């Protein structure tokens, strides 16, 4: 039977149940009024990550959309993102009306600062570094490029709430940061997201965008300036039930991260150095969230066989995103949106197309990746099972 690799979902229990029932008994499920569970969760996130503002949303994707809206990203703009990430990073850019520009990767599977510098131009409206698999990418390198160029940074920390980079939590180093509370993330409400920032204007714009553009708060401000006027937005609000669950889960996060970090350290120590397997480079090992061990196999074929063999041993394993970059997806390869009328590529001032070979380093690394999931429930027995399985498969394939 496969090991249970769930994170926050594995800890759902009596406290979450009681929090949900309290909201149900109140009969006030909307975030405004009632018990204020969403607002309480937002305040707890602010305290946890150390930002001035936090906005709860209906999903991590919604958080990305709100962040892009706050930055004013739209048609004619380009947004630079990593070649390898969950497709939501790219989708949020396209839905905003902008064009994603894919950047090659360094050995951490994060944005390569050197390639990033070559992609920035007058149309670049934002850069979205992604903290993949709970590992913060090289933010010093990214900010060294974006800072002098005056390009805002929207951190996609959807997979990395609680992970850190040189003493600062992922999501707090750029202009805005986004987290996800989807079922497979560190903490979960089934679905949900958060936008964090220290900029009050960006927070206000994001908040209004997620609440139909602020249609119901028009004129409340005293200045009657631009930010007192409504604009067209969406409904990306979190419900009180999700807020109640998320609030309990956030309290579990420090312990959950400590457990995963300890288990990962034990697995890496137990596996040791295996000829033919190269461990993924981590820009800040101390800040690693600990949810997976990732190695690079000698080639894509061996990586695929390695993963299949580990799965046969009951070890949760995969090549990152099936070993492919985002632009291998037919929707991006063919630049296909729900209707051609909504295609940002058709209205962009230059032709931007996607093909394999665009980001060769990232394509090679992700094709050769072997990821083994680590969960907070892993004790000595589970660690031993993982270590033995990795050695068994390596002995057979390498």
Structure tokens at 57: 């949303």
Structure tokens at 56: 């709860």
CB-facing half-sphere around the CA of 298: CA atoms within 13 A: 7
Distance CA 358, CA 168 (A): 32
Three-point CA angle 290, 110, 372, nearest 5°: 35
Structure tokens at 280: 């993924």
- Are 283 and 165 in contact by the 8 Å Cβ rule? The answer is yes
Structure tokens at 77: 């703009």
DSSP 181-248: -BTTSSS-SBS-EEEEES-HHHHHHHHHHHBTTTTTSTT-SSS-SGGGS-----B-PPPHHHHHHHHH
What lies within 8 Å, CB to CB, of 132 at 6+ separation is: 82, 84, 85, 108, 109, 110, 159, 160, 320
Q: How many residues are listed for the chain in this entry?
A: 398
Residue of 185, 264, 341, 392 marked catalytic: 185
For residue 168, the cross-strand partners are 165
Distance CA 243, CA 39 (A): 8
Active site residue 185: yes
Work out the number of other CB atoms within 10 angstroms of the CB of residue 174.
Answer: 25
Helices 87-95 and 60-70: crossing angle, nearest 10°? 40
Helices 300-312 and 380-397: crossing angle, nearest 10°? 140
Distance CA 93, CA 99 (A): 6
Structure tokens at 312: 């046969």
Kindly list the catalytic residues. Answer: 185
């Amino acid at each position: 039977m496969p090991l249970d690799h769930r994170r926050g979902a594995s800890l759902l229990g009596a406290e979450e149940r009681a929090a949900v029932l309290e909201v149900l008994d109140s009969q006030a499920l909307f975030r405004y009024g009632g018990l204020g569970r969403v607002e309480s969760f937002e305040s707890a996130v602010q305290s946890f990550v150390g930002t001035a503002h936090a906005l709860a949303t209906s999903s991590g994707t919604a958080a990305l959309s709100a962040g892009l809206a706050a930055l004013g990203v739209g048609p004619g703009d380009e947004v630079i993102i990593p070649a390898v990430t969950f497709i939501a990073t790219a989708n949020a850019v396209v839905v905003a009306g902008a064009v994603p520009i894919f950047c090659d990767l360094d050995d951490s599977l994060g944005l390569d600062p050197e390639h990033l510098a070559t992609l920035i131009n007058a149309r670049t409206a934002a850069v979205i570094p992604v903290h993949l698999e709970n590992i913060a990418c090289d933010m010093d390198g990214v900010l060294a490029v974006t800072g002098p160029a005056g390009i805002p940074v929207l951190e996609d920390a959807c997979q990395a709430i609680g992970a850190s980079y040189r003493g600062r939590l992922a999501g707090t180093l750029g202009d805005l940061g986004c987290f996800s509370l989807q079922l497979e993330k560190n903490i979960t409400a089934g679905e949900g997201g958060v936008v964090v920032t220290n900029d009050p204007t960006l927070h206000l714009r994001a908040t209004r965008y997620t609440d139909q553009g602020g249609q119901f708060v028009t004129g409340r401000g005293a200045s009657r300036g631009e930010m007192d006027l409504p604009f067209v937005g969406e409904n990306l609000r979190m419900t009180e039930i999700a807020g109640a669950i998320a609030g309990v889960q956030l309290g579990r996060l420090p312990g959950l991260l400590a457990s995963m970090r300890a288990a990962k350290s034990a697995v890496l120590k137990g596996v040791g150095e295996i000829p033919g397997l190269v461990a993924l480079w981590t820009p800040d090992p101390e800040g690693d969230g600990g949810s997976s061990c990732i190695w690079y196999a000698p080639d894509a074929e061996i990586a695929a066989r390695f993963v299949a063999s580990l799965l046969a041993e009951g070890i949760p394993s995969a090549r990152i995103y099936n070993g492919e970059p985002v632009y291998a997806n037919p929707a991006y390869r063919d630049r296909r949106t729900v209707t051609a009328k909504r295609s940002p590529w058709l209205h962009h001032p230059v032709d931007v197309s996607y093909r394999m070979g665009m980001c060769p380093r990232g394509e090679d690394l992700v094709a050769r990746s072997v990821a083994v999931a680590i969960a907070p429930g892993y004790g000595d027995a589970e660690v031993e099972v993982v270590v033995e399985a990795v050695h068994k498969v390596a002995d057979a394939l390498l």
